[in-house]
Chains A and B, each alone.
Chain A
Amino acid sequence: MTDMQLISLTVNGDEHTLAVESRRTLVDVLRHDLGYTGTHVGCEHGICGACTVLLDGQPVRACLIFGVQADGCEVRTVEGLADGDELSDLQQAFSRCHALQCGFCTPGFLMLAEAYLAEKDGRPADEAEVREVVAANLCRCTGYQGIVEAVCSVAADRAKASG
């Protein structure tokens, strides 16, 4: 199998050009070709959401997308969330609410929640809606409560900040 394609993509603001096999998934391109190992693989069949990244702002399962499909796209991964040493409000809330234990599912949840909060654009969130959104991903450790609380608390803070 040497069906190689040249692709370019921007990850967290940095541009990369590389040759990939057409069958290579985006998550493998990110993790193994480009070294963004923060994004995890939990199932490779689109159920667990551990591999969630933002592709042109939209949350996608990077195991269900080929690297070649990301040609010319902008990708955001968990490595791009903190501002230098400063964790984002969402990352801080995850720690405060004990929304992670082993941390394996965490990057996927952060990216999913990040997209959701961006879409809310400062409008307040209700818990039922947050539960429905985070139900897209699986976590085996936390029982989800901390995750729901973290996302709700950031939504509330951002709503307050945007008046």
Chain B
Amino acid sequence: MTRWIGAKVPRKEDGRMLRGRGRFVDDMRPPGTLHAAFVRSPHASATITSIDLEEAAKTAVGAFTSADLGDPFLLAVLERDEFTPTRMPLLAGDRVRHVAEPVAVVVADDPYAAEDAAELVVVDWDPRAAVTDLRSAADGPAVHSGLTDNCVVDLVMFDDERLDEILATAPVVVEAEFDSGRVAALPMEGRACLAEWDDRDEQVVVHVSTQVPHQVRSGIAQALGLPERTIRVIAPDVGGGFGLKCVVGREEVVVAALALRLRRPVKWIEDRQENLTAAFHGHEQHYAVKAAFAADGRILGLAADIRCDIGAYSAYPFTCAVEPLMAATELPGAYKVPAYRARGRGVATNKPPTAPYRGVSRPQIVLVMERLMEKAAAVLRMDALDVRRRNLIDKFPYAGVNAISYDEGSYRESLDLAEKKTSDWPAECDRLRSRGLLAGIGFSCFSERTAYGTPTMSQRRMRMTPGYDTAHVRMDPTGEVVVTTGTCGHGQGHETTFAQIVADQLGIDPGQVRLRQGDTDLTSYGWGTFGSRSIVIGGGAAGKAAGVVASQLRRIAAFLLEVSETDVELSEGAARVRGVPGAEVSVAEMARLVHFQAHQLPDDCRYALEARQSADPPGTFSNATHAALVSIDPGTGGVRVERYVVVEDCGVVINPLVVDGQVRGGVAQGIAAALYEQLVYDADGQPATASLMDYLAPTAAEIPPIQIFHLETPSQHSETGAKGMGEGGTIGAPAAVLNAINDALGSDFDHIPVLPHQVLASSGGNR
């Protein structure tokens, strides 16, 4: 009966976007709106000796310091002894910890005037030495008083005591260090918010470009000491998030506080410079790894010491432990690792805090594992794909050494198919070489745990534990349906894919299903959209709720048609009696009866056609193999990705258009992390990448066409059989590209991004 799931249904979202009628935060401008501009620190570390607002206050409508607002702060907590919570002040009061940290805010009738006024704020600074380098951070001054070694979280997750013995006796031990650069999520719409007081509801209504409206509400409530009821957070159209918008920004809370205080609408639209220098970053990590291999290529043991540069504060609500925890827990990935030890540390530096940017440590751990496979193969003189085959998980469910039970997947099959689909690549490399270029091929295999529910998330011991989500399905008197969900799309096409899931349950057209999301007053408390959770958890809940409504419809039809409920099926807008052509009643007719003439129905059929259901799975495991073919210009060191293949398995594909789009966008971000993007800081903590002139996001000229092949292993843990897949592209690409570069150059790069001058230095020795 499944009809819409799996179909290339064109997106409902497109019409308004293509007409320029999307509604993003900055498109809203209620009368009397004030515009906020933040005064930001020019120093990475400094004591504030005074802030003088007098001149600014003359031209602005208002100017405020932290003290004026009551010194509010955001606090993210992990309930572990190994974690030190750090208060993130909304505005720094006595001390700044990174360049561009906000210390004051002014509001004016116009954004130009607000910026003018912000320039009139005079701050006296007493600069201090900054900690900027992850590797030497332990020896620097404390970023927060009370921190030893600048370590905010230090977790020994696994510690197999057999490991020393294994490393001492194994035929092959590979020892290496890996690094990945600090990057920006860089949604095309920066952060944005508009808050206004609503007298009627006695609420401050905050429109925020966010992935997590309920957490923004909780953050505002906790920081300002308000009941949650007094705050309504609405995410209108959101121009990309990629994890940057799944944490709460201090500016968003400040704007809400100002709207409350001034009883006027207040707006803040982040500019690109702020986005690059003051917003949350991601992925700056260092790994020191030892891996033992048997003579036949099997991995025998793995030990990793992982450090993540978390910047100056823990982001709310996830804390800075997201990256070290993910890395230390999931490093083994798609491979059978019998003995494992991992330590994951989050290290504070005088740089902006990090957020769970798309992929969260998995681009790095996949890079580590895939480089290890290559290195072991080189030592053993084996084919690197065969080494992978020896180690890939091939029996399910698989109980990992990392206490993870792996859901059914197609790890071997995806590698086999990727190899087949790239069989003409060696010839392509020869062609490129005959043109004077260098060329190489790289692979990466990974499993991507997605849709983490509370059973999994609770192991992290966050004070606020995400995981569940709730959906409500309600049919109106014309037989059309409104679905609400706590997940919150920002480009993933939820309005379309949720409608497909619900339409299949109810036997109606997806055009008759409307999704409401991103409004804390309309939806049950939910965790928003991140961690590739929405279609599995939010869509699963919606499917369950629609299933309840479907059974109500079947019961009504059974009464009307005088048959047993089990003989009724819903399809094409009607309830039909199986095997009896013409015996049917339309869904619209039943909806009309329920609402307008309930007295005509028996008791158990009245007041029906709505349901609320939750979903909270332990998690699903997508998997994929990526393959990249690169060419390198030996004259410039420029690397080009010529061909790219993805074989991916995200279980049941709800909408192939959407899935392919997610994969392609993710691969583009992964290629970017491998070759172009890096936020650069000097030793004093000054950013050198404050504009898109310096921070190189790839264009259509750099991203090749990406060929995608699907395998479908449905997940038992998901209502629809779908697995989360929003991050896979980003996860697989850096390793595949890096392996291809090393193949082309005969080099041994273990870091990203690999920049042209490094390629030149390496290929110089190679020519």
Contact = CB atoms under 8 A, between A and B. Distances in A.
Interface in B29-51: 29
Interface stretch (A34-42, A54-62, A116-124): A34-42
B13 interface: yes
A101 interface: yes
Interface in A126-163: 131-132, 134-148
Given A95-B14, A104-B188, A21 B112 contact: yes
Interface string B69-82: 00000000000000
A96 B18 contact: no
B240 A45 contact: no
B19 A87 contact: yes
B664 A140 contact: no
Nearest to A108: B188
A98 B112 contact: no
Size class of the B contact interface (CB-based, 8 Å): 35 or more
A101 B668 contact: no
A43 B276 CA distance: 10
Given A42-B272, A79-B19, A141 B112 contact: no
A103 B29 contact: no
Given A40-B24, A138-B692, A146-B661, A98 B240 contact: no
A8 to B, nearest CB: 22
A78 B19 contact: yes
Contacts of B701: 131-132, 135
A47 B700 contact: no
A77 B490 CA distance: 23
Contacts of B682: none
B700 A102 contact: no
A106 interface: yes
Interface string A86-102: 01000100111010111
B193 to A, nearest CB: 15
Contacts of A101: 240, 491-493, 661-662, 665
Nearest to A102: B491
Contact of B665 (A37, A44, A104, A142): A142
A105 B17 CA distance: 10
A143 B17 contact: no
A84 B666 CA distance: 35
Nearest to A133: B700
Contacts of B729: 143
A140 B186 contact: yes
B272 A45 contact: yes
B703 to A, nearest CB: 5
B335 interface: no
A94 B666 CA distance: 19
Contacts of A103: 13-14, 16-18, 22, 237, 239, 491
A24 interface: yes
Interface string B685-723: 000000111000101111101100000000000000000
A43 B272 CA distance: 5
A137 to B, nearest CB: 8
Interface string B185-199: 011111000000000
B482 interface: no
Contacts of A39: 20
Interface in B1-29: 10-11, 13-22, 24, 26-27, 29
B665 A140 contact: yes
B112 A102 contact: no
A47 B692 contact: yes
Contact of B188 (A44, A102, A131, A146): A102
A32 B258 CA distance: 22
Nearest to B666: A143
B658 interface: yes
Contact of B112 (A1, A31, A45, A91): A1
Contacts of A32: 29
A42 B17 contact: no
Contact of B664 (A23, A44, A78, A143): A143
Main secondary structure of the interface of B (DSSP, over half): loop
A138 B189 contact: no
B26 A107 contact: no
B354 interface: no
Contact of B240 (A21, A102, A132): A102
A81 interface: yes
A112 to B, nearest CB: 11
B240 A104 contact: yes
- Most A-side CB within 10 Å, residue of B19, B27, B697, B705: B19
Interface residues of A, number: 56
A100 B21 CA distance: 14
Nearest to B671: A143
Contacts of A37: 20, 24, 26-27
A140 B187 contact: yes
A26 B535 CA distance: 40
B657 interface: yes
Nearest to A80: B20
B669 interface: yes
A92 to B, nearest CB: 8
A82 interface: yes
B20 A107 contact: yes
A78 B19 CA distance: 6
A1 B18 contact: no
Contacts of B14: 94-95, 100, 103
Contacts of A77: 20
- Most A-side CB within 10 Å, residue of B239, B271, B693, B700: B700
A1 B14 CA distance: 40
Nearest to A139: B188
A100 B11 CA distance: 10
A70 interface: no
Nearest to B699: A135
B616 interface: no
A33 to B, nearest CB: 10
Contacts of A1: 112-113, 116
A110 interface: yes
Contacts of B10: 95-96
Contact of A79 (B13, B20, B493): B20
A24 B692 CA distance: 22
A73 to B, nearest CB: 19
A28 to B, nearest CB: 8
A48 interface: yes
Contacts of A79: 19-21
A128 to B, nearest CB: 9
Contacts of A36: 20
A38 B19 contact: yes
A50 interface: yes
A102 B664 contact: no
Contacts of B658: 98
A66 to B, nearest CB: 12
A135 B700 contact: yes
Contact of A140 (B16, B242, B272, B660): B242
Interface in B233-276: 237-240, 242, 269, 271-272
B692 A48 contact: yes
B21 A141 contact: no
A36 B21 CA distance: 9
B15 A87 contact: yes
B667 interface: yes
A143 B668 contact: yes
Nearest to B20: A38
Across the A-B interface, give the 10 residue pairs with the lowest CB-CB distance, nearest first: A38-B20, A104-B239, A103-B17, A102-B491, A143-B664, A78-B20, A47-B692, A101-B491, A143-B668, A135-B699
Given A132-B700, A143-B665, 10 more contacts: A36-B20, A40-B189, A44-B271, A45-B693, A95-B15, A101-B492, A136-B699, A139-B188, A145-B705, A145-B706
Interface of B: 10-11, 13-22, 24, 26-27, 29, 112-113, 116, 186-190, 237-240, 242, 269, 271-272, 490-493, 657-658, 660-662, 664-669, 691-693, 697, 699-703, 705-706, 729
8 contacts: A24-B112, A47-B693, A96-B10, A100-B14, A103-B22, A131-B701, A138-B188, A140-B242
